[in-house]
Structure 1
């Protein structure tokens, strides 16, 4: 049965193949006449039908039997059989088949070509190389972005530069100082000027007569910014030229304003002015808020009841803090800055970082002629009713008929701004707020190889400078052992005549108490005892002003050997006999570190700086020094158990007594 079915299948297949062969043999060939028939038949086929046909072809990969060209030809030629299916082709192959066929009409060919161009599959994109990551710019290039060009072109002065002060009447020795000032310096024992002084004096005291005058409204002097290590003589650098120029004055007016961050600095700078200005007849005043506001008003101006818009100052030089300055500028009648010749901002980085009621903008406005005191808003500049001919820049308030002049240039303020700091800011925004006039920068700092020209850019970008005579140490210890390490420094390393800095007033008081208990236990348990106990005192903002002043004077007189304080006096205070600075608590940033250690090794003297670092703070402290390129200059000192063995028992006794005191207080 199976064999018979297979045979029938074979015969059926043979019959099918035979009929297929006959159909191919008898298939009519297309002639020119037939083409006309096909064209007539296709006449009713619209262009839209052909486009649909092509769309179907491209989307499905095969032609529709009713709309394809082959199907139409079959029906036109009288064929009755259904057109056979074409093999499935991709669109590009099908277009080639259709274009090769002679049966496609020319109009249809053009449509096929256009359609194939528009709908052709996209070819592979050309390969491109992977983007390369550009090299990161150097730190110096990044730091230069937005920096004042004058700062980049700063004069680099080596710290060892100095000039002797001659005693001859006719030879100033390059100091540009008059004979009277040189004699006064010699009387005070100052026989040599340091680098910052020898550089700044020729700039502020040129030989040209116009720049030595009190006012030069048509050619005002350039401003100056000075960055120098602590203890390098910045105060003397601006005190001397101010005294030299203001000695020419005939009428007392406020011509020099010195702004400082703390009251202690104000007292110190006033002492310097009084010592060097003796015999010049200049009157010096201070405003710090230590006295009542009415008392300070009576010391600064003559008449508060009468409105004198030109001012009636009792002082030539005013040394003040910014907050009290604003109080007098807004609340003291006849207090005027229109005659100002010098504006000195000492410790500029700290003062610029704090607003103090926006003191800088108010001070700068008060020195400009366009904002004359007494002028109402909307008053024309040439009709200001008040003027003072002593300050020529403010004569712009006079009408041209009052004072005939051939000058068409508007006079400008002759106020010269001088900025001083050991860590002078590089912030372009803060520098722009100062409105500096063609500033000149001076940086006192040693170069890496002693050649200043080839490393000017590197030196400018360094943030901090230290005195060359300073030796720095670092001791890493556990937090519980830090007081013991401090006692080790005092007794075993003879750290006396020292300033000790803590993080707060409370820490200052606690450390002094613990030291007193330790010293008492030491003298009691040691058979030999102490021949002379070490006097240690606390100096913090918790103490009243009179007590702070008394403690500071005793420390200067060396009646106190160790002074423990907060950062209250870490800036500017000059105490010549300080041989050691101990940072009992690590400073929070590099600026505080610089100003702390700057209390020693001043004016070319030797000094040591010690920093007690807790183990959990060591990484932060080292990274801070490394960023400032200063880690290699700080030596690590290791303390073994044997070094503190004799002190340990006394320390435990003192610690127990301190705990009892705080337990009773609690």
Structure 2
């Protein structure tokens, strides 16, 4: 009994061992089939023999592992201890054996490899990567192109030396000007057109000037012009405006010229009136020099009735932006819907300063406002019978506005656009994408008057984008580096050594202007008392003066009754005084734009001129770098003055300086 009793369990255990071993061997064969080949590629018969011996040894090891695993699964032979940790719940004995077999596969392979090393697999080499590095910085031209108007790269470059003679007779000589206008220019002493005028007139003046006031279905392209100071930009837009508007029948506000200062408004009006002589065109100004009601009476014909078509007395309005907004908001029957030309002169300055957001309001006034309705346009009783088909269309509206209020069905699907053509002019025209986009330009055409590369017919992107300023070829530029305490003395030395007359002297503020004028007057008084030479006449011109006083001083300077005019940057833009032969920057300009506009007051219209800049020692590095960045340093010649040169004027300067100190001490 005792010898035969355990036969049953032993038989079942051997059966379980046989089934588990078979399943394990089956899976092992499948793994062997899918095992990747070695990189050597030389699996010959010797390796097969080694594998068979290895498999036999592994089978023996597997039998031992399976026997041990099955014995551990029998709970009858396990004695429980009280402190033994709990085991996880077991599932089936076959599953446990399989799990143990899988956990011991790696151990089996390690043991076999120790008995007989096999050929190692040759893995492919890892790819090598370069060390990280900073990318190359983009060039200035690439950075400047970010967001830039693509039309600027297609700008037309015009050589400053380009001219075109104005012929008499029926042949216009390519100028597109009428015979009357060409005769008028001859009477004014203008015999040829400059570069900017030669390029613009054929583009702005069509061959047939009739029916060119309203172009709702084919609006004209906008124009942006960058040309040096004194190159004739005023005449470039005045001639096309007068040529096209001279065909008008009814007076409407069709040309609006916006300028930054009152002095420029007066100067442009003089030019327009001289050119308009013999035509019926009427010119008006709005600057704030007169009362608001006076300007209203000069601009508007009827202020009592509400006429959405407007009631204008002038064809051309020249104004400052602030006063323009005042009339646009507060003057009855003042409208911009008939505008054919919108000229923004000195555009970079006007765009840099908001002026009550004038540009947005002006552009909105040239377009139809959809929130308006027909009921907003009352029709006088006398005109109701003449309304065609009882359409109640207000009289005097421009074609763009008229289309919106017409009740007559139209078969045209094309939308009407404003006929207003924007013309932008400046010696330093902005390239700022944000400011250019605010203009809402329509297919703009750019004209750049600057020196071109003879070897290249296409525009150079660097010159177009990086704002390369162009100076008149007849201008001579100088700079004098000195100590700040000796700057007035060096200025007096320049005036008397180089016979500087008919000169504009620019300072940084109105206070500096007055102080320099008083010091110079004391100096001249001392000099005239010690010598027989005639003293020079010097005057201050600043924003602190009344408009009438500024006008009187400017007239005296034009008549050469004043030798030197000391001013701030108030008149550094646009003012054209033909006899100015010298420009002195007593204080260094803060940027290249101001320098360009200052020195542009001389050497205008082909005349010669000199520009002098007094640079303090601490400002020399900045000033030279500013010129170098604009590739202009080579043109500015350095002037050296020694103490020996200043010695004769030193006693006079010290006496004048003491008088100035006494004057300011008494005032305080």
TM-score tier by shorter-chain length is 0.7 to 0.9
Contact 1:140/1:458, CA 8 A, preserved across alignment:
yes
Partners of 1:618 and 1:116 in 2: CA distance? 85
Aligned residue for 1:49? none
Aligned residue for 2:206? 206
Change in 2 beyond 3 A, CA 1:510/1:387: same
Contact 1:387/1:394, CA 8 A, preserved across alignment:
no
Alignment pair present for 1:469 and 2:437: no
Aligned residue for 1:393? 400
Report the 3-state secondary structure (helix = DSSP H, G, I; strand = E; otherwise coil) of the residue aligned with 1:466: coil
Contact 2:254/2:341, CA 8 A, preserved across alignment:
yes
- Deviation of 1:138 after TM superposition, in Å, equals 1.6
1:207-226 mapped onto 2 (5 Å cutoff): 207-208=207-208, 213-226=212-225
Change in 2 beyond 3 A, CA 1:369/1:213: same
Report the 3-state secondary structure (helix = DSSP H, G, I; strand = E; otherwise coil) of the residue aligned with 1:189: coil
1:344-363 mapped onto 2 (5 Å cutoff): 344-363=343-362
Contact 1:505/1:541, CA 8 A, preserved across alignment:
yes
Aligned residue for 1:570? 572
Report the 3-state secondary structure (helix = DSSP H, G, I; strand = E; otherwise coil) of the residue aligned with 2:218: coil
Aligned residue for 1:108? 100
1:226-375 mapped onto 2 (5 Å cutoff): 226-370=225-369
- Deviation of 1:208 after TM superposition, in Å, equals 5.0
Alignment pair present for 1:629 and 2:631: yes
Contact 1:254/1:313, CA 8 A, preserved across alignment:
yes
- Deviation of 1:126 after TM superposition, in Å, equals 6.8
Aligned residue for 2:151? 150
Equivalent residue for 2:657, pick from 648, 655, 658 = 655
- Deviation of 1:232 after TM superposition, in Å, equals 0.3
- Deviation of 1:516 after TM superposition, in Å, equals 0.6
- Deviation of 1:207 after TM superposition, in Å, equals 1.6
Contact 2:65/2:101, CA 8 A, preserved across alignment:
no
- Deviation of 1:127 after TM superposition, in Å, equals 5.2
Change in 2 beyond 3 A, CA 1:128/1:562: same
Alignment pair present for 1:450 and 2:454: yes
Partners of 2:340 and 2:61 in 1: CA distance? 113
- Deviation of 1:660 after TM superposition, in Å, equals 0.8
Contact 2:155/2:459, CA 8 A, preserved across alignment:
no
Structure 1 window deviating more from structure 2 (641-650 vs 367-376): it is 367-376
Equivalent residue for 1:41, pick from 55, 68, 71 = 71
- Deviation of 1:624 after TM superposition, in Å, equals 1.3
- Deviation of 1:369 after TM superposition, in Å, equals 2.2
Partners of 1:315 and 1:548 in 2: CA distance? 27
Alignment pair present for 1:482 and 2:456: no
Change in 2 beyond 3 A, CA 1:286/1:36: closer
Partners of 2:357 and 2:105 in 1: CA distance? 78
Partners of 1:347 and 1:514 in 2: CA distance? 34
Contact 1:387/1:397, CA 8 A, preserved across alignment:
no
Runs (5+) with no aligned partner, structure 2:
1-59, 76-84, 87-95, 110-124, 377-389
Contact 1:261/1:347, CA 8 A, preserved across alignment:
yes
Alignment pair present for 1:512 and 2:539: no
Change in 2 beyond 3 A, CA 1:285/1:39: closer
TM-score, structure 1 as length reference: 0.80
Partners of 1:373 and 1:579 in 2: CA distance? 56
Report the 3-state secondary structure (helix = DSSP H, G, I; strand = E; otherwise coil) of the residue aligned with 1:141: helix
Change in 2 beyond 3 A, CA 1:115/1:310: farther
Contact 1:385/1:397, CA 8 A, preserved across alignment:
no
- Deviation of 1:619 after TM superposition, in Å, equals 1.0
Runs (5+) with no aligned partner, structure 1:
1-29, 46-65, 68-103, 118-123, 378-382
- Deviation of 1:44 after TM superposition, in Å, equals 4.8
- Deviation of 1:39 after TM superposition, in Å, equals 3.8
How big is each residue's C-alpha offset from its partner over 1:626-655, in whole Å with a ceiling of 9 and x where there is no partner?
A: 222211221111111122121111111111
Change in 2 beyond 3 A, CA 1:39/1:273: closer
Change in 2 beyond 3 A, CA 1:146/1:498: same
Partners of 2:353 and 2:460 in 1: CA distance? 30
Contact 1:263/1:321, CA 8 A, preserved across alignment:
yes
Contact 1:309/1:373, CA 8 A, preserved across alignment:
no
Alignment pair present for 1:439 and 2:469: no
Partners of 1:33 and 1:249 in 2: CA distance? 115
Aligned residue for 2:56? none
How big is each residue's C-alpha offset from its partner over 1:598-645, in whole Å with a ceiling of 9 and x where there is no partner?
A: 111111111111110000111111111122221122111111112212
Report the 3-state secondary structure (helix = DSSP H, G, I; strand = E; otherwise coil) of the residue aligned with 1:549: helix
Report the 3-state secondary structure (helix = DSSP H, G, I; strand = E; otherwise coil) of the residue aligned with 1:369: coil
- Deviation of 1:116 after TM superposition, in Å, equals 12
Contact 1:386/1:397, CA 8 A, preserved across alignment:
no
- Deviation of 1:303 after TM superposition, in Å, equals 1.7
Aligned residue for 2:528? 523
- Deviation of 1:462 after TM superposition, in Å, equals 3.7
- Deviation of 1:386 after TM superposition, in Å, equals 5.6
How big is each residue's C-alpha offset from its partner over 1:361-418, in whole Å with a ceiling of 9 and x where there is no partner?
A: 10000001235877799xxxxx9966445621212223342xx654321211100000
Structure 1 window deviating more from structure 2 (194-203 vs 367-376): it is 367-376
Change in 2 beyond 3 A, CA 1:41/1:398: same
Partners of 1:445 and 1:31 in 2: CA distance? 94
Equivalent residue for 1:617, pick from 606, 609, 619 = 619
- Deviation of 1:323 after TM superposition, in Å, equals 0.2
Contact 1:374/1:386, CA 8 A, preserved across alignment:
no
Change in 2 beyond 3 A, CA 1:35/1:164: closer
Change in 2 beyond 3 A, CA 1:602/1:108: same
Aligned residue for 2:50? none
Contact 1:156/1:452, CA 8 A, preserved across alignment:
no
Partners of 1:313 and 1:547 in 2: CA distance? 32
TM-score, structure 2 as length reference: 0.80
1:146-185 mapped onto 2 (5 Å cutoff): 146-168=147-169, 170-185=170-185
